[in-house]
Amino acid sequence: MDDDLTLVDAEFTKTCPSAPIEPGSSLFGIVAAKGQIAYITPNVPVTHELLVILGEDGVPIENRLRFAGPCIEHRCVQWMGEAGAGRCGLIDHAIDALGITAGMESLPLCGIRQSCRWFAQYNRRACAACPEVIRRPKTTIAEMAEVASKAVLSS
Ligand code: SF4
């Protein structure tokens, strides 16, 4: 068992709505069009098999899907401030760049709202910005599938 991962699970309770695809994250939205997300409830856990299926057509996965995972706070490059006393700088930037001043009147059926880091910071305004955010991966789908495979083999 990975002691560091156990510490992360116990220490951080919020959910990141822009998480990388890896074991422990889950699929919670499909990019239907630019600025439009079809939210999936309940979320679908990421498995090695899912990664292989999703990567088959070669289209970058993050252009089509959204994944959620534990918010790791100060261990994330987007975090602003101290552990337990900071905030997610990504949603700060998105709200500012998009000029969002009002929240959504009718909230989408999103499966992570109760623990969503962005919702905790901006309430309904976060949900107005959320569909505009698409993660740009630094790793390829083949590399992610390999990571998932190793995690399965070592568990
Ligand atoms: S910002 Fe709103 S819609 Fe997006 S993941 Fe959080 S709760 Fe769901």
23-47 residue pLDDT tens = 789 999 998 888 899 999 999 998 8
Distance (angstroms) between ligand 1 centre and the Cα of 45 equals 17
User: Cβ(24) to ligand 1 under 6 A?
Assistant: no
Per the CB < 8 A criterion, the answer to whether 135 and 20 are in contact is yes
**Cα-to-centroid distance, 35 and ligand 1 (Å):** 13
Is the model's pTM score more than 0.85?
Answer: no
Cα-flanking dihedrals φ and ψ of residue 32, to 5°? Answer: -80, -35
CB of 25 within 8 A of CB of 46? yes
CA of 129 to the centre of ligand 1 (A): 9
Measured from the Cα of 37, ligand 1's closest atom is: 3
Least confident of 3-7, 18-22, 39-43: 3-7
CB of 110 within 6 A of ligand 1: the answer is yes
Distances (CA, A) of 138 to 48, 60, 72, 95: 18, 11, 18, 24
Q: Of all protein residues, whose CA lies closest to atom 7 belonging to ligand 1?
A: 113
- Token representation of residue 111: 């499966």
pLDDT band, residue 48 (cuts 50/70/90)? confident
